[in-house]
Each structure stands twice: as structure tokens, then as C-alpha cells.
Amino acid sequence: MNNETVPGPSSILARLRTETRPEHEAIEAALELTSETLTREAYRRTLERFYGFYRPLEAGLGEIGGWTERGIDLTQRQKTPLLEVDLRALGVVRPAALPVCTDLPPHGTVSAAFGCLYVMEGATLGGQIITKAVEKSLGVTPETGGRFFNGYGDRTGPMWQGFRTAVTAFAVTVGDQDEVVAAARATFISLHRWIVAEGNTQ
């Protein structure tokens, strides 16, 4: 692994933004959640797939220690509970019985975990746009099935900045940055595959 320190405080963020752009755009194109023709059933199915992906991945990330020391309150950032609330509001009686993804991205190291978190935390930014779109097209509010995409609500900006600060402080070597970026790309790819296909379930 290359332990050379990378100059510039924002280099990891620039790399993540640039090097994951194709995978990020593929996810956005697949979701179509801002379409005016979005149906309530399609919206619920999308949340079911997100639940099936986030539930095992968040559990795996929780097994890695030392998050508090790195400036991350993982419990505060969990999205699975929000998805459970949304799914129940949309008529899913037992969210825990839904299929879960077994084709997860690498997340067993701190570097890889930060890459996964980049995707999951970054989704809260786009979620603000989706929140407005689904309220307009479906009448779904954060109180009636839209908590997941609403994310942190008014705290979205500060929470995202907190993550930016944490990942920048951590990924200061070429080796760590390479692993963070690779895991972020793998997370986008795995999520895209899971959302668009009905396979990879147990």
C-alpha cells in the first residue's frame, strides 16, 4: 500500500466526486424518483430495495469500531430505521421479512467503510430534491412515508459537512484514498445492480 501523504485538504473529496461520477449518474438515471409519472407502488418498491441494501450494510459498518474517534456518530446516521418507518406508512407490515442484498461492496476496513459512507451520506443531499418531488407527485411527506429521503432535514448541510471533515482527516495517504474511492465506486455499482434487478436475495 502506498503511504505517501497527499497534499491538499480536499483531495479525497475531489477524487470521490470525479472518480465516482459515472456510477453516480447511473444510479440517478435508474431511480427516476423525480418523474411526474412516478407511482406510489414504484416508490414503495424502491424503498424496499433501499431497505434490503442498507440493512445489511449498516449492520456491517456498525461492527467496525472507532467511529466516534474519527468524528462519526454512526447511530445518528443510520437510515434503516427511517426506511422501516416509511415502509410501514406505505403498507408494508413486516419490513424485516423483505429480501436483503448479499452482494454487498467491500466494507471490512475503515477505508472501505468510509467509501460506503460517502455514497450513503451523499444520498442525503439528493434526497432533499426527491423529497420535494414525491410530495408534489404522490402527496408523500416525511410524516407519511418520506423520512428516508428527507434524511436529516434541516441538519442535512451540517451533517454532510461533518462527514466531509471526517473523511478528509482520515484519508491522507494515497493508499487510504485509493481504497476509499474503490469502495465508493463498488457501493454505487452494487446498489445499482440491486435496485434494477430482483436477484441477489435470500
CATH number of domain containing 78: 1.20.910.10
Q: Are 175 and 2 in contact (CB under 8 A)?
A: yes
Q: What sign has the CA pseudo-torsion 120, 121, 122, 127?
A: positive
Percentage of the chain exceeding pLDDT 70: 93
In a domain, 154, yes or no: yes
How do residues 160-190 score in pLDDT, each as one tens digit?
999 999 999 999 999 999 999 999 999 999 9
In a domain, 2, yes or no: no
Query: Per the confidence metrics, is the pTM higher than 0.85?
Result: yes
Domain that holds residue 89: 15-196
In a domain, 137, yes or no: yes
Mean pLDDT, rounded, for 23-50:
92
Q: Does the pLDDT at position 59 exceed 70? A: yes
Measure the CA angle with vertex 95, ends 94 and 101; round to 5°: 135
What lies within 8 Å, CB to CB, of 50 at 6+ separation is: 79, 83, 148, 195
In a domain, 1, yes or no: no
Neighbouring C-beta atoms of residue 36, cutoff 10 Å: 7
Domain count, the chain: 1
